[in-house]
A and B are shown apart, each in its own frame.
Chain A
Amino acid sequence: MMINTSRIRQFKEKLETKRWLLPALLVFVFALSLVIQQFELLDPYVQLIIMYVGINIILTLSLNLINGYMGEFSVGHAGFMAIGAYVASFLTVKVFPADMAAWLFPLAVMAGGAVAGVVGLVVAFPSFKTRGDYLAIVTLAFGMIVKSVIENIDALGGPRGFLGMEKLSTLPWVFFWVLVSVWVIRNLIYSNFGRGVLSIREDEIASDLMSVNTNHVKVLAFTVSSFFAGIAGGLFAHLLQFINPRAFDIIKSTDILIMVYLGGIGSIAGSVIGATVYTVLLEVLRPMGIWRMVFMPLVLVLLMIFRPRGIMGLREFRWFVPVRDMLASRLWREKKAGT
C-alpha cells in the first residue's frame, strides 16, 4: 500500500511538470467531442451525463469564486442560473428565427450570461456592507425572488415552465464553455484582482488597509461569477429542453454548494473534481433509489469530518498555476544570481 501511494505521487509529480500536456490534452478532447457528436460514438445517456458534468463544473467554478476564493457565502446561485436559462431560451424560441437558432445559440447563451452578470451587481452592492450569515440571507432571498418573479411572468410560462427549445447543447459546446470558465477564472485569480479576492477572504479589514479596493473586487467577482452561472443555465436549458422555476430552487443552490465544498474551496482542480465526482456518483447510485439521498449526505458528513476543506481545499493542480506565480521566488533568485 505504501509503495503504491508513493508511486501515484511520483506519477503525479511527473505529470505536473509536463505542462505542454495540458493544451495538447484539451485540443485532443475537443476534437474527440466533435467526432463523438458527429458519429454518435457514445450512448446518448452517457453523453448526457458528461454534459451534466460539464455544466456542473461551470456552476461549481462560478460559486467557488464567491464562496471559496472570496470567502463570502452565497446560497442563491440557482437564481443566476435561472436568469441565464430563461433569457437564452426566450431568445432561441421566441426571438431568433427558428432556422437560425442553431447558429445563434452561442449568442443566446452569451446573452443569458450577460443578463445574469448584470443582475449579479444587485447582490454585489449589499455585499459592500454585509457579510457572512447576513449576506447569505440576502442571496437566499435573491434566489427566492428570481423564482417567484419567473413564476409570475406569463410570457415565460409562469409556474408551468418554458419549453420549445431545440437540443442545442452539444458535447463540443459544453466543453468549450467549461474551457472558457476555467481559463477566465484562472487568469483572474492569478492577477491583481484575484489577489484582492483572496485577501477579502483572509481579512477584509486588512485588505482594505493594504489599498485593495474591496468594493471593486466584489463587483468584479460577483459579475464574473453570476455570468458563468448564467452560461451554465443557458446550456442546461438547451440540454433538458424544458425548464420550470422549481428546477432553480434552493435545492439546486444546495447542490452547487455541495460540489464546491466536496471538491474543495479556492481551487480550480477542486471544482472540476467536486462537480465530476458528485454528478457521476449520483448517477452510478441511481439503482439505490431513494437510499442514495441517504448515502450522499453521509459521504458529505464523513468528508467534512475527515477532510473539512474538501478534496483539494486551498490547493491547486500545478497545471493551472501560471509559471510566473509558481516559481516567482526561484526566478527572482536566479535573476539575482545572474546579475
Chain B
Amino acid sequence: MSVLKAENVTHYFDGLAAVSGFNLNLEPYELVGIIGPNGAGKTTIFNLITGVYKATRGSISFDGAEIVGRTPSAITALGIARTFQNIRLFKELSVLDNVRIAHYARVKYSPVEALLHMGRFQKEEEEIIGHSMDLLAFLKLDAYADEVSKNLPYGLQRRLEIARALATRPQLLLLDEPAAGMNPNEVSQLMEFIKWIRKEFDLTILLIEHQMHLVMNICERLLVLDFGETIAEGLPRDIQKNPRVLEVYLGEVKC
C-alpha cells in the first residue's frame, strides 16, 4: 500500500494556479525528489501535503486516510514531518527544547495534571527528556543540548531541524532544500546522512532540491515541475535526457 497518494491536486492563489493536476504515489521506503525552476510550485506541494494550505481541488491521502482539510498539527501527528527551506528553528530556545516541543502530540497528561505535577506528568516528562536526548545523541547533537539553537553553526542547525522533525516519529519525511547553502563536501556528507536516517528510522522521504549532484545520486525517482505542472517523471538518468526538462532548465532547444 502506498504511503502517500496525491490525486489531481490543484491549488490556486487568487486565480493563479500554483499547482495543477499534481499526482504522486509514494511507496514505503521510497526516496523521491522534486526538482524544477524557482516558482515552479515545489514548496507549495509541501505546504499542501502538510496542511499549511488547503488544496483547492483533488485529494491527498496518507496511509489510506484523506488528509486534505486537516490542520497541520493533526497531519504531523499522523506521521508526516518536514524541514524548511529557510531554517525555522525555535531560535531562542535550547536545542533540547526544540526537540522536546516536537513531542507535543504524544503527551497524554492534561493541563490539570501538569499544574499539580500529578498522575502521568512526571513519568511522561522524563520519557520526553529521555527520548529527546537519545535522539540528539544518535544524531551527534547531544553535546549541544543546552545551547540556544540560534547559536549553533549553520550545518548543525540544519541537522537539528531534521532531528526535530524525527522527534515527531514520522513515517514520511519531507525535506525542503536540505542542501541549501552547503559546499560540495557538506553536500556529500548530507547525502550519506539522508540515506542513513532513512535506514535507521525506516522512512519514506520526499525531497526538494536544486543541487543536481545530490538529487541524481540519491533519489530513486524524480518529478520535474514547471509553472505548477508536472512535466516529467521517472528515473534520474532518464530525466537528465528528457527534452522538456532540458528546455526548462537550459532554454528552448533548437534543432
Residues of A within 8 A of B (CB): 184, 187-188, 191-193, 195-196, 198-199, 201-203, 205-215, 220, 314, 324, 328-329, 331-332
CB < 8 Å neighbour of A211 from B77, B114, B116: B77
Residue numbers in B under 8 Å from A329 (CB-CB): 96, 133, 142, 145-146
In the bound complex, do residue A209 and residue B114 qualify as a contact, i.e. CB atoms below 8 Å apart?
A: no
Most chain A CB inside 10 Å of its own CB: which residue of B97, B114, B122? B114
**B152 to A: closest C-beta gap in Å:** 15
Instruction: Give 7 A-B pairs besides A191-B114, A195-B100 with Cβ atoms closer than 8 angstroms.
Output: A195-B104, A196-B101, A202-B93, A203-B90, A211-B105, A328-B129, A332-B130
Task: Report 16 cross-chain contacts, Cβ distance below 8 Å, ordered by A residue.
Answer: A187-B116, A188-B111, A188-B115, A192-B104, A195-B101, A199-B90, A201-B92, A202-B89, A202-B93, A203-B89, A206-B90, A209-B82, A211-B104, A213-B105, A314-B92, A329-B142
Does B102 reach chain A (CB closer than 8 Å)? yes
Given contacts A195-B104, A210-B168, A214-B73, contact A324 B126 (CB under 8 A): yes
A202 to B101 CA separation, bound complex (whole angstroms): 12
| 8 Å CB contact of B129 from A193, A206, A324 | A324
* Cβ contact within 8 Å between B129 and A202: no
Please indicate the chain B residues that have their CB under 8 angstroms from the CB of A207 in the complex. Answer: 90, 101
Nearest-CB distance from B3 to chain A (Å)? 18
- Give residues of chain B (134-180) contacting chain A, Cβ–Cβ below 8 Å: 142, 145-146, 164-165, 167-168
- CB proximity of B177 to chain A, nearest CB, Å: 16
Instruction: Give B contacts to A, CB under 8 Å.
Output: 50, 52, 71-74, 76-77, 81-82, 84, 88-93, 96-97, 100-107, 109, 111, 114-117, 121-122, 125-126, 128-130, 133, 142, 145-146, 164-165, 167-168
- Min CB distance A30 to B, Å, is 20
Q: Is the CB of B142 within 8 A of A188?
A: no
Check if A324 sits within 8 Å of B125, measured CB to CB: yes
Residues of A within 8 A of B116 (CB): 187
Q: Which 3 residue pairs across A and B have the least CB separation, nearest first? A: A202-B90, A191-B114, A211-B105
Q: How far is the CA of A191 from the CA of B97 in the complex (A)?
A: 11
Contact A187 B96 (CB under 8 A): no
The chain A residue with its CB closest to the CB of B88 is A206
Contact B130 A203 (CB under 8 A): no
B111 touches A193 (CB 8 A): yes
Q: Which residues of B are found within 8 Å of A187, using beta-carbon distances?
A: 114-117
| B97 A195 Cβ-Cβ under 8 A | yes
Contact of B90 among A198, A213, A215, A331 (CB under 8 A): A198
Closest to A193 in B: B111
Chain A residues within an 8 Å CB radius of B107 = 192
Residues of A within 8 A of B125 (CB): 191-192, 324
User: Which residue from B52, B109, B117, B145 sits with its C-beta under 8 Å from A328?
Assistant: B145
Within the complex, the shortest CB–CB distance from B112 to chain A, in Å, comes to 10
A195 — nearest CB in chain B belongs to which residue? B101
Instruction: Output the least CB separation between A217 and chain B (Å).
Output: 9
B73's partner among A195, A212, A220, A331 (CB-CB below 8 A) is: A212
- Specify the chain A residue showing the minimal Cβ separation from B116: A187
In the complex, A188→B117 CA distance in Å?
10
| Residues A192 and B109 in contact in the complex (CB < 8 Å), given A210-B104, A332-B130 | yes
A188–B114 CB distance below 8 A: yes
- Give the shortest distance, in Å, between A59 (CB) and chain B (any CB): 20
Find out whether the CB atom of B129 lies under 8 angstroms from the CB atom of A332. Answer: yes
Which A residues are in CB contact (< 8 Å) with B111? 188, 191, 193, 220
Q: Is the CB of A198 within 8 A of B97?
A: yes
Report the Cα distance A184→B117, complex, angstroms.
Answer: 11
